[in-house]
Amino acid sequence: MSDFGKLWAEISPIGRAGSGGYLRFALTEPELTLRDWFRGQAAQRDMTVTDDGNGNLFAWRGEPWAPGTVLTGSHFDSVPHGGGYDGPLGIVSAFLAVDRIPADRNVGIAAFVEEEGARFGVPCLGSRLLTGVMDPSRAAALTDRDGISFAEALGAEPTGADARVGRLAAVVELHIEQGVALSEPVGVASAIWPHGRWRMDFAGVGDHAGTTRMTDRHDPMLTFAHTVLAANEEARLSGAHATVGRVQVEPNATNAIPSLVRGWLDARAADTGTLGRVVDAVVKSATERAGRDGTTLSVTPESVTAEVAFDTALAARLSALLDDAPILPTGAGHDAGVLSAHVPTAMLFVRNPTGVSHSPAEHASDADCEAGVEALARVLEDLT
């Protein structure tokens, strides 16, 4: 078995559900188990472990935050029933890459908290806090579906920005590719599409499904349904991506017209102008329909991230180093995207043959993962 296969097998069972996908939500038991595993791996390598008071965990070869350190790593948390590679691949690969470079290099490995936003609603929460993009008191008050706040889950108020981020020479995150754009084992990221999440509350009048005349209804499910189709159409017309993957209904009873349907719009596009036009068009179409349905719509942006262009010179350097590895953009958000505003940042992608992601079917071959480890080792050695 390869080095990768052996280390990967240690964490594969943690948080795996009957679906084959993972339930590794930030600061819940499976993710806490993975953090313990992280500390154990660091100890085996005589790496110092620190946390930043925001829920992000670091293992350091050399002094923590030593000037010129290159930071790598990723996140442990998953979407509900997501794949096992999305996040953990970057952490497992980081430990294996550190084993392959000279012992005198300053390298840090990060396990960022709440990258998916699956528990507290804001993706890249840990890196946003670390870089000061997110206000700690706002983060503290975010709640999960059971009403538990981020501060409660963390056991303390998050401490927010840490200026020592500025001492890093570079950040390099390795991640499984999440589409089918990469046909070689390893690629280099050029940019992350601007993207965001908008909560849409469609409010109507709850009533009896059997007795209320069709003409007397104010049924928000109709406005919601129209909006789902409108989002799909607008995204297709603009070459953007739009998805409604999460819904809450009140009272959610078969024989009751809903009083409220809440849907979340996830939208992404190659540039900020296109993204704004797509979201505006969806909201306009939804609002017009609400007028006809006798319902109301309120839209709340929960997180909106501008386009990230990774450091062009750094990407070119890594591509050249990795035998002209392809350079490609992605529609997925990453902690590296948040850090790129503060530190020269790059990403390495490992091939995903089917492109399936955020699903139990997500997969990368052991050979490609091993190639990813080797590429990351070459990059860390080159940059330190």
What residues line the site for a copy of itself (CB under 8 A)?
Answer: 21, 79-82, 116-118, 121, 123, 177-180, 193, 195, 197, 205-214, 216, 219, 221-222, 224-226, 228-229, 232, 235-236, 241, 243-247, 249-259, 264, 266, 268, 330-333, 355-361
Least Å distance, CB 166 to a copy of itself, is 29
Smallest distance, a copy of itself to C-beta of residue 124, A: 11
Residue 41 C-beta: closest distance to a copy of itself, Å = 27
* Contacts (Cβ under 8 Å, ≥6 apart) of 292: none
324 known member of a binding site: no
User: Residue 255, annotated ligand binder?
Assistant: yes
**CB-wise, 134 or 168, nearer to a copy of itself?**
134
CA distance 139 to 207: 37
Q: Does the annotation place 145 within a ligand binding site?
A: no
All residues at 6 or more sequence positions from 343 whose CB lies less than 8 Å from its CB, including other chains: 71, 165, 166, 168, 169, 170, 171
C-alpha span between 194 and 269 (Å, rounded): 6
Cβ burial 98-130 (10 Å sphere, 16+ → b, else e): beebeeebbbbbbbbbbbbbbbbbbbbbbbbbb
Is 226 annotated as belonging to a binding site? no
Based on CB atoms, which residue is closest to a copy of itself, 116 or 374? 116
The verdict on whether residue 116 carries a ligand-binding annotation is yes
Is the Cβ of residue 175 or residue 378 nearer to a copy of itself in the bound state?
175
Rounded to an integer, what distance in angstroms lies between the CA atom of residue 271 and that of residue 282?
17
144 is in an annotated binding site: no
Select 265 or 383, whichever has its Cβ closest to a copy of itself.
Answer: 265
What six digits make up the tokens of 164? 């020592």
Q: What is the dihedral of CA 119, 245, 299, 237, to 10 degrees?
A: 140
Binding site residue list for allantoate: 197, 255, 268
Q: Residue positions in the annotated binding site? A: 75, 86, 116, 175, 197, 255, 268, 358
